[in-house]
Amino acid sequence: RKEVEQDPGPFNVPEGATVAFNCTYSNSASQSFFWYRQDCRKEPKLLMSVYSSGNEDGRFTAQLNRASQYISLLIRDSKLSDSATYLCVVNRGTGGGNKLTFGTGTQLKVEL
């Protein structure tokens, strides 16, 4: 079983739609959680951190459920520019926190 599991998609949605991505992780000792965005043939870029209390950044909302070891990302009012691969990421390290475990990514295609 992979440490971080995501539905690979692709998710094809019309512009303006709401789309939700889910992710599960297996290591209960995981310290911190993130969503990264990766455009085609580019490096991953941090989209947002994920907290148990839930956090929102504009059209994006992330949620963590530690008991279920489940992470979610909700994108409202999808834009064409949201088309990318979204990577669920778990940090097992402490301190420098650079030992990231990535899911395989979920591909999103927003269409006119």
Partner 1 sequence: ETGVTQSPTHLIKTRGQQVTLRCSSQSGHNTVSWYQQALGQGPQFIFQYYREEENGRGNFPPRFSGLQFPNYSSELNVNALELDDSALYLCASSLVGTSGNTIYFGEGSWLTVV
Please choose, out of 11-19, 36-44, 54-62, 63-71, the segment that lies near partner 1 by the rule CB under 8 A: 36-44
Binding status of residue 102 toward partner 1 by CB under 8 A: yes
Q: Compute the CA torsion angle 66, 22, 32, 110 (nearest 10 deg).
A: -150
- The residue range among 13-21, 52-60, 75-83, 90-98 that interacts with partner 1, by the rule CB under 8 A, is 90-98
Shortest distance in whole angstroms from residue 60 CB to partner 1: 15
DSSP 72-104: EEEE-S--GGG-EEEEEEEE---TT---EEE--
* CB-based contact 22:72 (threshold 8 Å): yes
Is 49 a binder of partner 1 (CB under 8 A)?
A: yes
The C-alpha atoms of residue 95 and residue 32 are separated, in whole angstroms, by 11
Based on the shown chain and the rule CB under 8 A, indicate whether residue 103 belongs to the binding site for partner 1: yes
Other CB atoms within 10 Å distance of the CB of residue 2:
12
- Based on the shown chain and the rule CB under 8 A, indicate whether residue 72 belongs to the binding site for partner 1: no
Q: Can you give the binding site for partner 1, defined by CB under 8 A?
A: 4, 31-32, 34, 41-46, 49, 87, 89, 91, 93, 95-105
